[in-house]
Chain A
């Protein structure tokens, strides 16, 4: 691939990304009131999105191979316990990550 072709491919990646990020703001400008259905989606979507992002992070786990996703499951449970107990974002994240690193480096 020539340099010009590389620049074209990279520009397409940039433009496509910008398009997906800006489109809702361009369609629903702040001058006109946002349709009720979109307002509803704006409120209802986030919880579903965060659930989707958690599964997205875990998508490469193979239940029937390797460590069967056990270190991930244990670490997530630990994150939840820590968070419900202390409600300190950084403590929960650090605790869960350290447990996961210990589990996959020394146990599994």
Chain B
């Protein structure tokens, strides 16, 4: 009984954090499902793909991979390029996912941008089990995404909606998460490095190819500044 109460509490603590993601994911998932539908794929495709790939931008790219000539090597390289940022998330979550038992493989499988950001920054109440909290965040987000994608695949081009601009909900969420992280730390070297590297690489490489150079530049600068950063205590405490 005690365990059940704890699980329930964890759910109640996790759910509010996922509300903005619900708003973003059903909409983006819907867009993806519609895109699959008008590209000639039955709803089972977006349903299954959103469930087992579970990575928004890759799933959009996968549509063109499926429509083009059969090229497994190209698909593999594209996947690694688009998904490489997860390597960073994994490094950041090594400690937090420790001791989560059977939930751990699923937590890692479902570690999309949004689940990672919430699980990393959320202030989890003391009476709540952090493993269950992170589990519910991950499950709920996964569910919203599959739900949106399936609905879009089913309804296809029949729906018309005036939700222009709703996709900004994801931008707003990342701005809030960035700001929360900013408020938590005394020094902001790393935050500056992230923003400046991204803008610089975006200008140099353009919107479709800037992520890998950005990640390498961030890694390079953080490695270069390791000594001063560790000495001045410019690292977040969470």
Question: Quick check: B165 and A41 within 8 Å, CB to CB?
Answer: no
Which residues does chain B contribute within 8 Å of A13, judged by CB atoms? 49, 53, 55, 58-59, 62, 65, 75, 79
Which residues does chain B contribute within 8 Å of A94, judged by CB atoms? 20
Question: Quick check: A105 and B171 within 8 Å, CB to CB?
Answer: no
Question: Quick check: A75 and B172 within 8 Å, CB to CB?
Answer: yes
Chain A residues 20 to 65 lying within 8 A of chain B, measured CB to CB, are 20-25, 28, 30, 34, 37-38, 40-60
Question: Quick check: A25 and B90 within 8 Å, CB to CB?
Answer: yes
- Say yes or no for B1: interface residue by CB 8 A criterion: no
Question: Quick check: B53 and A42 within 8 Å, CB to CB?
Answer: no
A14 CA to B69 CA in the complex, in Å?
A: 19
**Count of chain A residues with a beta carbon within 8 Å of a chain B beta carbon:** 65
Question: Quick check: B172 and A54 within 8 Å, CB to CB?
Answer: no
Binds A, one of B5-13, B128-136, B151-159, B180-188: B180-188
Given A44-B190, A75-B168: A24 and B87 within 8 A (CB)? yes
Given A47-B236, A92-B172: A100 and B178 within 8 A (CB)? no
Question: Quick check: B76 and A5 within 8 Å, CB to CB?
Answer: no
Using a CB–CB cutoff of 8 Å, the interface residues on chain A facing chain B are 1, 5-6, 8-10, 12-25, 28, 30, 34, 37-38, 40-60, 72, 75-76, 79-80, 83-84, 89-90, 92-94, 96-97, 100-101, 103-105
Given contacts A51-B195, A53-B113, A57-B171, 15 further A-B contacts (CB under 8 A): A6-B66, A9-B62, A15-B79, A40-B222, A41-B219, A41-B222, A46-B121, A47-B181, A48-B191, A48-B194, A79-B179, A83-B180, A92-B172, A97-B169, A103-B165
7 pairs from A and B in contact (CB 8 Å cutoff): A9-B70, A10-B52, A13-B58, A13-B79, A38-B91, A42-B92, A97-B168
